[in-house]
Amino acid sequence: MTNSLALIADEVVETDFLIVGGGLAGCMAAIEAKKKSNIDVVIMEKSSIEYGGTGVGLDGFHVEFPGIIEHPVPKDVDEAIAAKSLFGANRYKGLVSSKSAITELKNWIKPLAILEDIGVQIREDDGKMWGAQNYRGGTVHSRLKKDENGKPFEPNVVMYRGSDLKWKLAKAVYEAGVRVFNRTMITSIITKNGTAVGATALNSRTGKFVVFKSKAVLIATGRATRLNPYPWAPYPNNLFYSIGFPGNCGGGIIGAFRAGAKVANMECLWVYAVSKGINASGGAGGAGWHFRLLNSKGESLEDKYPELNIRIAGGNIPPVNFMYAPGMKEPTTEKDIIVSKTDSATDDDISATYYTAATEPPRTLKFLKMAGGLKDKRPAEGVPYPAAITISGIRRINEHAESTIGNLFAAGDCACHTAGSRALVWGYIVGSHVAEQIGSIQGQSLNGEQLRQVEQAKARVLAPLGRVTRNAVNPLELEDYVRTEIIKNYVGIKKIKARMERAKELLKRVKEEAVPLLVADGPHELMRAVEAQDIIDIAELYIDSSLLRTESRVAPMHYREDYPDQDSNWDKITITARKNEDSIEYLRESVE
């Protein structure tokens, strides 16, 4: 059997624990697994683990618990306490599990301690951790928010100096003896009797088709960033100019889905407030976290619509709520021009912005410099940008983040609501669990059925390479059609049944008529061709789930123009999807 596998694959790698994606979750899982036991760990990363992933610099530990530093999290934390966490079930109106928030709270300090161990500056010069109020109202930490009695809210996040966080994580991964395969992207997951036994991958430099055999697999490939275009950039930059790492196309989510794992909440769109032109996080770009968003009359939206403060309204990352004020039917963002006013900013606002910008990719600081500095620059327009799907992805069925496929785990943004610093927490949880359990997992041989899976994946992946056709389809052009035309123009933020059904038709035609004509000239372009197919499948799940959810919830996360109100029949209900032989089975399941 091994012989025939050797014939199909260009390279076969055997390991105990395969981690797909070397971002925050993947690196933390690897470090913890190696620390706990001497198992063999492999990371497969599409770019390089030093700079790959969205969290290249991360300056805040956003587990979000009031009094996170002052009084330690109680050991017997229950759902009522967890609900106090803004990231808990409360904020997303029952779309996410509060059990997950409890597990996060119980574990939050451990990955932070590991970060400190590997040299990240967690404490300030006085040796104390700095707690900040986050998401209290349209701002982060530059302006103190107070409750109705005039008492400042308790800090609920830990801020630290995280600009070199990813570099240090990568260094620790190498020092721990983890084998790293950079420039290697996942193309499928191999299963045997309902459990994961490995994965196939493509090296985008050498073109090698690699097969990994593994006892446990962690998917940590991030969110499907490449679902929506950045519409204010020229083609093809509109496909790559994103907030998060644009290599993330949902490959891990769709790989798990194709292998039979359940995915959930695929209709939920993450809309983000950015400064137009810079497309950086709201804090760094200045689109309303540290500066007030003003309408054309010069009114501050934060002051005009206090009821949309995230503490009251819940919802997306601020200040998205204010951009969509007074409501989704006639949002300010569509009828007016919103600017983030920086010229009257206080020194605290400015230093807070530079503090945030320092942990962004360097382009943010470069842009601020080119624009003449925050104080003197012309005001930039604040715009809502659909950055990815969110709180969606691989459905986890237990507190070890296992998916519906045995020994297949999911952490980070690809796993329903575990983004940012919570990626570190869930990476830690999975790494720790796998290290403990690996002894009881039998290594599996890849027999006829698994070889068939590998052959199928290889045939699909390599098909565009050197394909000869008079009507060649460029992967980027196809991706642009799917994202700009189908997703942005036919689905968009305000979803309507008839338009989404048209989108489904177009998507079907694209799959049948254009995908078979994809042509790639070399391994790099082959990577883009594989990504385009992943994006098409993610788009299908996004549209189907959006059609099924006949209500609006946490708008603009899911807003149906034909069902504009929240419907109690959908309370605590999630839409899951699973692939059967030739069809997709969608279910309404309860959120636990």
Partner 1 sequence: MYNFKINYGPTIDDHFCNGCGKCYKYCPMDIFGWDEEKQRPTVVYPGECWFCCFCEVMCPEVAIDVKFPLHHMIDFGVDPRKVTSLVDEFTEIEQSK
- For the CA atoms of 457, 459, 462, 465, the dihedral, rounded to the nearest 10 degrees, stands at -160
| Beta carbon nearer to partner 1, 178 or 401 | 178
Query: Smallest distance from the beta carbon of 481 to partner 1, in angstroms?
Result: 16
| Tokens of residue 404, six digits | 């519906």
Judged by CB, which is closer to partner 1: 314, or 379?
379
Q: How far is the CB of 59 from partner 1 (least distance, A)?
A: 17
Cβ closest to partner 1, residue 153 vs residue 240: 240
For partner 1, which is the closer residue by CB, 144 or 370? 370
Q: Are 301 and 325 in contact (CB under 8 A)?
A: yes
Rounded least distance, CB 215 to partner 1, Å: 30
In the complex, what is the shortest distance from the CB of residue 47 to partner 1, in angstroms, rounded to a whole number? 4
> CB of 520: closest distance to partner 1 in angstroms?
13
Nearest distance in Å: CB 344, partner 1:
15
User: What's the rounded Cα separation, in Å, for the pair 121 and 493?
Assistant: 39
Pick the closer one to partner 1 by CB: 227 or 507: 227
d(CA 510, CA 589): 31
β-pair partners for 42: 18, 179
Which is closer to partner 1, CB of 145 or CB of 377? 377
Helix-, strand-, coil-residue percentages of the chain, each rounded to 5:
35, 20, 45
Q: How far is the CB of 279 from partner 1 (least distance, A)?
A: 8
Q: What are phi and psi of 426, to 5 degrees?
A: -70, -30
Smallest gap from Cβ 357 to partner 1, in A, equals 12
Amino acid at 91: R
**Rounded CA separation 25/252 (Å):** 13
State in angstroms the smallest separation of the CB of 278 from partner 1.
5
Question: Looking at beta carbons only, is 153 or 232 nearer to partner 1?
Answer: 232
Q: Number of helices (H) and strands (E) in the chain: give both, helices first.
A: 20, 20
Residue corresponding to tokens 């004509």: 517
Give me the residues that bind partner 1 (CB under 8 A), please. Answer: 47-48, 50-52, 56, 183, 204-205, 232-234, 236-237, 239-242, 245-247, 275-279, 361-363, 366-367, 370-372, 377-381, 476, 524, 527-528
Is 394 in contact with 176 (CB distance < 8 Å)?
Answer: no
Q: Cβ closer to partner 1: 130 or 240? A: 240
260 or 277: whose CB is closer to partner 1? 277
Question: What is the distance between the alpha carbons of residues 475 and 178, in angstroms, rounded to a whole number?
Answer: 33
Please report how close the Cβ of residue 355 comes to partner 1 at its closest, in angstroms: 18
| DSSP output for 407-449 | TEEE-GGGBSS--THHHHHHHHHHHHHHHHHGGGSPP----HH
**What's the CA angle centered on 499, arms 498 and 501, to 5 degrees?**
65
- Cβ at position 400, least distance to partner 1 in Å: 30
Residue among 74 and 522 whose Cβ is closer to partner 1: 522
133 vs 149: CA distance, rounded Å: 17
Name which of 380 and 510 has its Cβ closer to partner 1. 380
Strand partners for 464? none
Q: Is the dihedral of CA 489, 491, 497, 500 positive or negative?
A: positive
Please, what is the angle between helix 109-117 and helix 421-437, to 10°? 90
Residue among 59 and 267 whose Cβ is closer to partner 1: 59
State both tokens at 100. 């997950």
User: In which element (H, E) is residue 370 found?
Assistant: helix 363-370
Residue 573 tokens read as 């209900």
Q: How far is Cα of residue 187 from the mean position of the Cα atoms in its chain?
A: 19
- Residues sharing a CB contact under 8 Å with residue 287, sequence separation 6 or more, in sequence order: 273, 274, 275, 293, 319, 340, 380, 382, 383
CB of 514 to partner 1, least distance (A): 20
